[in-house]
Every structure is written in C-alpha cells, then in structure tokens.
A and B are shown apart, each in its own frame.
Chain A
Amino acid sequence: MLPRLSPPQLAFNRQDIIMSILRSLTLLLIALVSVLSLPASAQEDDPGKALLNNLAEVPASRVEEAINAIVSSGDERARGWLEAYGNNRLSRIDDTGQVVIVLNNRGRDWEIANPLTGENMGEMSRRELDRIAINNRIRGQLEGILAMLDLNATDPDVREASAQDMMGKVDASLVEPLEAQLEREENASVRNRIEEALAIYRVGEGNLEAVDVLAGSLHPRARAALNEAVRSDNPALADKAEQALASIEQKLKLNRAAETLYFGLSLGSVLVLAAIGLAITFGVMGVINMAHGELIMLGAYTTWGMQQLLPGQPGLALIFSIPAGFLVAATAGIIIERSVIQFLKGRPLETLLATFGISLILQQLVRTVISPQNRTVVTPEWMSGSLVINDALSLTLNRLYVLAFALIVFAALMMIMRKTRLGLEVRAVTQNRAMARSMGIRATRVDIMTFALGSGVAGLAGVALSQLTNVGPNLGQNYIIDSFMVVVFGGVGNLWGTLIAGLSLGTINQLLEPWAGAVLAKIIVLVFIILFIQKRPKGLFPQKGRAAEG
C-alpha cells in the first residue's frame, strides 16, 4: 500500500465543488448586485446563516461536509468566509450563537463584523467569543479549494501559482476538471504546471508515460512521487522512475553547489557588514571598539523604532531606517569618542577595556529603557519569500537584499576613502599623524569623523541584521567576536581584506556545515584563524609601509 498525501477518508467530493464554483462564478455579477441591495432584515432567512451555523456546530469529523455545503451553495460570499475560517477569524458569540468575522484579534477586546452583510459590529470582549476551530489538515484542503478557484483567474501568474499549489494535491476527483482546464489553458508555463500536477497523480497510479513528464522536473513533489514509484512492486515502473531520478539527481547536484555558494556568500555578507565599520575604527584609527556590537544593536533598534513610528508601513520604515540608523549610531559614536576614546590616544589595549565597559552600559540601557525582551521587526512584503531560479534553487530575498546592501555599503566606503577629502585626510593622519598635522590637517576633527563613520556603518549593519535575526539587547554580543576575527584575518587597515575575509570565512563555514555540523564548523573556522594568525601575524593583506609600524 502506497502512502498517500491526503488520507482517502478525508477527501470530499471535489468534482461537485469545482462545478459549483464554476456555476457561482458565472453568477458573480448578478450576485454582486444582489448582495449590495440585500436589506438587513433579510438576514433571518439568509441561507448563509444556516451554512455558517452548521460549520460552527458540526463535530470535527464532519467539518468537511460543512465546508462542502458552503462551497456547493454557490454563495458568492463563500470565499470570504472560507478565508476567514482558514485564518482563524471565524468566531461565534457565546450568548446569541451568531457567527462573526473577527477583524482584529489583538488584546482583550476584538473587533468583529457580520459575515452576512459585512457590517462592522464594533468591539467585543474576547470572553464572549468562541472561535470556530480549524486545524492544519482542513486548512490544507481549504488551500486546495481556493487554488482551484484561482485556476480561473485572468492573471496567468495567479493561475501558475495555483497550478503549482495543486502539485501533489491532485486526487481522482480532480483529474477530470484539471484535464478540462488543460484544454482551455493557453499559457505554456501554466499548462506545464498542470501537466506535472497530473503526472504526479498518474505516477502514483502506476502510469509509465507520466514518468517521462516528471523526468525533467526539479519540483520536490515530483521527486517525492518518483521516490515512491521506485519503491513500487511494478518492476518496469520502478526501473523507469529510478532512471528519471538519476537524471534529476545530476541536475540537483549543480543546483546544490550553487545553493551552498549562495549560503556562504550570504553569511559572508553579514560578516562583512558587521565587520566593516570595525575595519575603519580599528584598522584606520587603531581603536579597539568593543562597543561596536552595541552600535550595531542601536541600528537594529532604530529600525524597530521607525516601524513603531510608521505603523503599517514596514517597507517605508525600513528605507527611512537606513539614514536614521546611520545617524543614530554615528551620534553615539561621536559621544563615545569625545567622552572616552580621545583620552586614550595610543593606548589600544585600554580602549578595549573602556569600550567594553561602554558596551555593558549600552546593553543594560536598552534593557532598562526599552525592554529586556526581543522586539518585533516586521519584514516588508517585498523582502519575504524567495527569488525562484528553478524548482530546486531559490534565493531567499531578505538575504539577497542584505548581500546587495553589503556590497553597496562597501563600495560607498571605498569611494569615501579614495575619492573624498575626508578619505585623503584620514589616510594622511593614519600614516603619519604629526606630519599630517603640520600640513594643516585638523587631526582631532578627522578622528571624530572617522569614528563617526565607522560607527554609522555599524548602525547600517544593524538595520540589515534586523531583517535576519533577533532584535534584542544581546544582538551585538553575538557579532563582536566574529567581527574582530574578520578584520584580523583580512589584515588590519585594509578594507579589501575585510571584504575578502568576510566572504571567504562565510563560505568556508557553510561548506563545512553539512559535513561537520554547525558548532564544529564554527570551531574549525576559529581554530583555522588562530593558526593562520600564527603563520601570518598581520592577516591576509598586511598593511605595508610606515603605517604598518604605527
């Protein structure tokens, strides 16, 4: 007996549903008019009421029937109801038994609406409401139903997405309507998807030709279907499936290598972002800023603050956070420089201790002023999900943005150091402070600017990290040691070294990880750096010339 993705006793008659949906769609226009003109008094004999009450009352084992009834009623509001149901937003008022849609379910009082008329019913205490239960299994089936609805959408992208959703969810009752759909469909990629979806079902049924359809597919569901076929009792089918799988494996290998490289570069870009500010303050100024991690943290909290200021606009807030994060961290940097670091000129080890103290103070400040809890930073829509290259290779968007952001920040910093007056002065002061001063450069001002720049870049790193990890008081601590490793490995005072070091350490780590596990990979990288420093005490790209002696 082959295991099936959906247990048979749970499948309800989908053909009926499809038909009814089609019917309902043809009636859409008329229905829309009628719902708008529906008088409130007509609610009593609204058939929807009975349907919803039925859904609320039936035992868990018969929920499918209730859904079935809603869909086959052809009611044009069905989609809204089912969506609300799928999102846990369908509730019942304890006293009256009326079914309502919950619009806002935060806090103790919830905002509700009438599902029949769409009328807002104001707020109601959560105690008075009884949620209509749903679980993953039913939610999965709802998704299938909604996907079937979308197959008729006018936008081919929506059709393709819904066809993709159908993969692995096709059962006997769906074959016929899907085939009909295939006849009508003109878009090639949607056709492809439907064909694959059908083939997955047919392979399960022992169809040999269907194996050929799946042979080139990288979709995990297709592979799952073939894997099952390999285990079947039909030797011809098992054989053929095995060949198909072998060719897929070949393609997968390449994809997997590309994926690992992407993982490595992505981790590397995080390391570069975290370390690059340090490369400036440490490498150029010789200040060991242990509070660097906390400057990153400030950047991340700025993002959170921005999102609080602009509720409902996470994307806009994130974009505003880029300059804001820079300014906040840079200001903090200036304060640190003026209040502590300027008194410790030429005593690098003492700056280490003092800035470590500052890092403790900043952490505790955030705990006391904001909260010891992590804060929620929302990922904007355009940064969630992934960029699909093919079925087996997709690049997660948030990391892709961070990678690009890291490269932009790096390029901008290089420009500043190479092409601007500030950069020139910074390099002059680094190489020979006394000489630079006698040439009329205000070394103190350059110090402040450099430190502000390095700190600001740390703030930028924080803005980016808020999209990848926790925003909390410990954020900085998690990155400080890694950042130092990157800078030291790359060679102090060399921005290119930091870039190469960050990216290569990230890649090494990700290459090792599948083989050694996450912890051991990290330990190996650390030991590697320790040994490397013994071999080349000044890092990958040691600074040459007089500056090296400073």
Chain B
Amino acid sequence: MWLTRPLRERSTQIFLGVLFAALAIVTFLHVAMPEDSALYVSAYTVTLLGKYLCYALLAVAVDLVWGYLGILSLGHGAFFAIGGYAMGMYLMRQIGDRGTYGDPILPDFMVFLNWQELPWYWLGFDMAWFAFIMVLLAPGLLALVFGFLAFRSRVTGVYLSIITQALTFALMLAFFRNEMGFGGNNGLTDFRDILGFNLRTDATRLGLFIATGIALAIGYVICRGIVTSKLGRVSIACRDAEARARFLGYRVDRVQLFVFVVSAMLAGVAGALYVPQVGIINPSEFSPLFSIEVVVWVALGGRATLYGAVIGAVLVNYAKTVFTGVMPDAWLFALGGLFVLVTVFLPKGIAGLLASRRKGKQDEQDTPTAPSTTEATA
C-alpha cells in the first residue's frame, strides 16, 4: 500500500519520531511541571507552537507542488485561508445566541449590518461534520477548477506563478467586501467552542496543539506516500522535463491536477487548525505577501524534501517571533536578506546542507533527488 510504504522509510521514521517526541515533551512540560518552574511550558507557548505546526503543514503542502511538480504556487495562502474560513464559519455558528446581540442564528456582524437571514452558503456550517468536510472540499474544489483550466491549456512556469498570485489577490479583494457575507475586514472572531470544548481553556489549547501535530504527521505521510509512488515519479518527470513526459504518453495535466488538489486540501486543513488557535480569520491571510513568504520557508528548509519544509517553517516563524519582540525594525531586513541569501547561496536549503554532510557516510536510495537548479520553463 502506498500509504504504508513511507512508514518503512528511514527518513520518515526519524521525522515522525522527532515530531511525536516533541509533542510528548511539550505536553508533559505543560501538564506536569509547576507554573513557576523554569521548564514549564505555558499555554501561550503551546499555542505558539501549534501555530508553527500549522504553518509547517502549509509548507509541506507547498513543497509537494513546488518540489515534486515544479509548480511555484504563489497562491497557496488562498487555500489556507479558505480552509480557515470554513472552520471560522463553523466556530461562528457555535456561538449561537451568546453573541452580543443574542441572535440565535445570525453572527454578530450580520445583525450589525442589518442582514435579515443567513446567506445560503452559511447553511450547514452549524454541523461539525459538514464544516470539516468543507474544510477539505472548498479549497479542493477551487484547486480543481483552477488547476483544470490552467493545466489543460498548459500554462506553466512563471505564468502559472503569476496567475496563482492574481487568484489569491482577487480573493483577498473579494473577501474584503462586506457584501460577501464573511465579515469583511474584521473577518470572523470571538470564537467560543469547538466540538463542545471551550476554546478559552488551556486544555482545549493543548488538545488543538496535539491535533495539529497529528495532522502534520498524517499530511507528511500522505505526501511522502505520493512522492514515492509511481505517480510521484511521474510528477517528478513532469517537473524536470514536462514535454518529454508528455511525449512518453503520460497525461501530464492529470498528474498535475491530482497533486495540486491534494496539496490545496492539505493547505485547507492547516488553515482550519490555525483559526481556532489564533482566534481570528480575516482576508489578510489571502495577501500575496503571505503566500510568497511560505515559499521562502520551503526554500530555506530545502525544496523537495518535505521535512525541510517543516524545518524552514518552524525556524523562520520562530525567528519572526523573536525578532518582532526584540528589534521590530530589523525583522524585514532579516526576512529580505534571508530570501536573497537562500536563493543565491543555499539553493538546496538547510536540508541540502544536512544531506551533503550525510552523503559521505551512506548513499540515499529511496529519496528522489532534489530538482536540478536549471529548470525548463517551456
């Protein structure tokens, strides 16, 4: 089975081992340590780590299409945000009549703007199962339609990157409009419960953190399963020489479409887990800047390695937390410098550094090689 194959892989075992160990340690330190202990991990930190893990899952999704399919998506933030909105809508409906205006059905911002009834696309979001399906389905569907049109007409390379950017930009403008019924610039906030658990308790926060860790593990295994399967090899062929793969008889557009949709769904899940932890979803998640930033996490960590994406996401975001606290002015310099240095001097990222060190000791057998630095754009 393609899903179990990765579990026998050394690299996946190490990754899962490290991930679960980290989850266990954080949980232990949070629950068992007294609050004044130096080793105590506060709820604040747990949530922060949960956020990093969401970003890591998003980065894995981006790496799947960029590293193994050669599609530089500058619009994955859109799928992330749509997943987040699906979750946000569920959480909004869970508020029920505890909102400021006490309306049992309409969220506060709708009462506020004199909406008379719930728009049709909000229906069903009071049920968890429906919302959770939409978390997968909504981004997946968007990716399906967009990808179908794009891959069928062989839009590739730079053009594809730019229209993914246009996609997320257009969605951002659309979601900013209050007429859309998603709360406009204020977005969705003031969440209370998820599946009956109070979101404002530390126990729920820990639960969400662990759930995110598990989602990341599953997402990682799925991606790993795809890239080591036959489909994965074909997609790598598409990445390195699209025309040749096509001439050999592979339906390149179908492969691209499948992987693109899976990646969008993973991004959606990441968004859905992100929203209850940070407590707000607003259209700025659609901003093109955020999507490009995600690409840099992947580039820093190392493209086409998956675990590199995780390392990159966690490192950059940790640096961001530290920098914006200590010297806010320097953060953009650091981030900008990172973009330049990584692309010029570290084309294979941190994972590339690790791999080159390891290479002397043992040969990698099952790992597909990282993409060649010169890629065909036509």
Contacts and interface: CB of A to CB of B under 8 A. Distances in A.
Interface of A: 288, 290, 340, 343-344, 346-354, 356-361, 363-365, 367-368, 477, 481, 484-485, 488, 519-520, 522-523, 526-527, 529-531, 533-535, 537-538, 548-550
Contacts of B342: 353
A526 to B, nearest CB: 4
Contacts of A361: 332-333, 336-337, 340
Interface stretch (B32-40, B146-154, B204-212): B146-154
Interface in B321-378: 329, 332-333, 335-340, 342-344, 347, 373-375, 377-378
Contacts of B176: 519
11 contacts: A348-B158, A356-B336, A481-B166, A519-B176, A526-B170, A527-B170, A530-B163, A531-B149, A533-B163, A534-B152, A548-B378
Nearest to B71: A349
B288 A481 contact: yes
Interface in B159-180: 159, 161-163, 165-167, 169-170, 173-174, 176-177
Nearest to A341: B344
B343 A344 contact: yes
Contacts of A349: 72, 157-158, 161, 375
A494 to B, nearest CB: 14
A348 B156 CA distance: 12
Interface in B293-307: 295-296, 299
Contacts of B72: 349, 352
Contact of A523 (B150, B170, B337, B340): B170
B321 to A, nearest CB: 18
For the residues of B in contact with A, the DSSP-based class is: helix
Contacts of A534: 149-150, 152-153, 155
Contact of A353 (B152, B165, B170, B299): B299
B166 A526 contact: yes
Given A353-B295, A530-B170, A531-B149, A358 B288 contact: no
Top-5 shortest CB links A-B:
A357-B339, A360-B336, A361-B336, A364-B332, A526-B170
Interface of B: 72, 149-150, 152-159, 161-163, 165-167, 169-170, 173-174, 176-177, 288-289, 292, 295-296, 299, 329, 332-333, 335-340, 342-344, 347, 373-375, 377-378
Contacts of A530: 163, 166-167, 170
A346 B153 CA distance: 24
Contacts of A365: 333
Given A520-B177, A534-B150, A353 B296 contact: yes
A537 B166 contact: no
Contact of B335 (A357, A485, A549): A357
Contacts of B373: 347, 350
A519 B173 contact: yes
A350 B295 contact: no
B155 A523 contact: no
B343 A537 contact: no
A359 B288 CA distance: 14
A315 to B, nearest CB: 35
A522 B169 CA distance: 10
